[in-house]
Amino acid sequence: MPGFELFGSAERKEVNDVLDSGVLMRYGFDGMRNGHWKAKELEVELQSAFKANHVQLVSSGTAAVSVALAAAGIGAGDEVIMPSFTFVASFEAIMMMGATPVLVDIDDTLTLDPKAVENAISSKTKAIMIVHMCGSMGDIDALQAICDVHNLILIEDACQAIGATYKGQPLGSIGHLGCFSFDFVKTITCGEGGAVVTNNEQYYINSDHYSDHGHDHQGTDRGAEGHPFMGYNFRISELHAAVGLAQVRRLPDFLAIQKKNYTILREALALIPEVTFRTVPEGGEENYGFLNFFLPDLEIARKASQNLKAAGVDGCFHYFDNNWHYVRKWDHLKDVKSLFPISAEVKAGLKYLQTKTFAQSDHFIGRNISCLIKLSWTEEEVKARALKMVEAIKMSL
């Protein structure tokens, strides 16, 4: 990843189709399109790739999470359990719906710890959101069992994990709803875009309507369409969908390149006794977009991060000191800093963050380094990178 590294003639062809027709909007203008419906075509391709009944394209991964929550009826008075390690969009989307995010610890999968989830369930809990960070998954069976027992909705945020599978099923198509991002730095990119994936027909209908101002998309006259309920504008454009259409057809090739590059680096680091790797549940296969490994302690991980940068090894992240992806520095959430008033209920629901600690998450994130796997590397470049990484890590021990 990311897919933009290999842009070429396939992407240009799909984009030129749209420019030739002049129709950049995914809905309406049927007579002008010359048969081009890029968003619809991409949804069909994604249904096949995800082995899912329904896909609704939207404008971003954040929009996908927001639409998924709305489609499942999650809002004011509800709590959504989510991990302490994710992207800020997770809690942004929850709060946008008027619900309260309940952050819990991760385990050595770098995703939700089922025991922490179980302990966080209250009478207000409506959903569990597992975030498949850095291309892999948590204990999905355990989380599904918890949802079954407590009658909760399982939402998969698979924005960083397209192509990863669990027991042969693509991530994002296992829970009640799945969410994907196709932004500029994802394995396949639309520039900006996302998707809601579900096998539940009502959730799909809700997603379809809600993401386009509540339009029911019945008939061929957009102005005469009904509005069964209120919605917002989370539409993707035909230009963005065109890029994604070319990219998704190349996904198997992208995944193969990622796996090859990942394997070279992992095999080199595995020779260092102090290095261990994230746990991937039995039956799971990463999408190989990131190589995640643990060092013995926080101090060594910080040294290794500095040494990797000094050696010119870019794209290696120590999330413990990162502003975007780990709860430790989310002061704007802890202090509920917003341009608009937040409801008293949500404010009260977030007070726990003033005192709550995440020692278990600190234990894993503090020792973790996550390295981006690029598609454009040559084999020689990957091998040279592996040598630099080994040397930088050994210097840190």
Map residue 23 onto helix, strand or coil.
coil
Kindly state the DSSP code that residue 74 receives in the 8-state scheme: -
> Facing residues of 231 across strands?
none
Which amino acid would we find at residue 99? A
Q: How far apart are CA 28 and CA 232, in angstroms?
A: 17
Q: How far is CA 318 from CA 212, 275, 294, 325, 361, in A?
A: 38, 15, 10, 10, 13
Which of 13, 38, 167, 186 is labelled catalytic? 186
> Facing residues of 125 across strands?
79
Pinpoint the alpha helices (H) of 188-250. Answer: 201-210, 238-248
Q: How far apart are CA 302 and CA 390, in angstroms?
A: 15
Q: How far apart are CA 186 and CA 362, in angstroms?
A: 26
In 3D space, the residue among 202, 155, 203 whose CA is nearest the CA of residue 180 turns out to be: 155
Beta strand 194-198 with 54-58 is antiparallel
Kindly state the DSSP code that residue 15 receives in the 8-state scheme: H
Q: How far apart are CA 253 and CA 383, in angstroms?
A: 20
Kindly state the DSSP code that residue 235 receives in the 8-state scheme: P
Does residue 186 carry a catalytic annotation? Answer: yes
Q: How far apart are CA 241 and CA 18, in angstroms?
A: 10
Q: How far is CA 152 from CA 91, 129, 177, 186, 309, in A?
A: 18, 10, 12, 29, 43
> Facing residues of 127 across strands?
80, 153
Cβ atoms of 107 and 138 within 8 Å: the answer is yes
Cβ atoms of 78 and 100 within 8 Å: the answer is yes
Question: Which residues are known to be catalytic?
Answer: 186
